[in-house]
Structure 1
């Protein structure tokens, strides 16, 4: 194969400068991009507003619409918690995530205790009915 006479085909050896002194260092982290996922605070705001609207509709008497909005609010709250867990951006975001997590934990415990109380009341009613018989 004949040697090319084109300058672009030639390899040149370049000496790199010696950088042993103070050189500027910049560290860059690749941030994940969540295409199609709204910001966490927007999800939180939508979930809160849908929850309030659902409560208003339930109070007015339109319970099917209220239940649908309540379900959407629960889905948006779950999306908010997942997004906030994956990328806790600011201090406000961390505070909102912490507050929401603690409220959900409190509601879960409240529901558990309420179920226990209902079970105890049921057992008491059975015992009282047997005693009257």
Structure 2
């Protein structure tokens, strides 16, 4: 076997190994949605106890929120009542920052729920309603 054939075989093995590594790496990475630290809670699936925190926003209007680990806040906007499971462990610090977007006079209420129990709650009827919850386990 000539030197040229040996080089082609070695290069072929390297290319196949590279393609195999790329395929395995790409299929084991979390998707963009999985990498967020907030999961919309639509009630269709039960979250495990590894995510004990839930943010509950009650307001009959439009709002904007940033929530989760204070170093990795996720931005959400919405209309009406919504709840979000926070991708934070029981020992993590939690931050929730919610503000009315429609300058309505209705009551904006934000709750931080841990394992089904409200651990902190704030509300406002101010037209610029801005609520902040900082929770340290």
Say which structure is richer in strand. Answer: 2
User: Which TM-score band applies after superposition, normalised by the shorter structure?
Assistant: under 0.3
Task: Name the TM-score, length of structure 2 as normaliser.
Answer: 0.20
Higher RCO, 1 vs 2 (CA within 8 Å, ≥6 residues apart)? 2
Q: Name the larger-Rg structure.
A: 1
Say which structure is richer in helix. Answer: 1
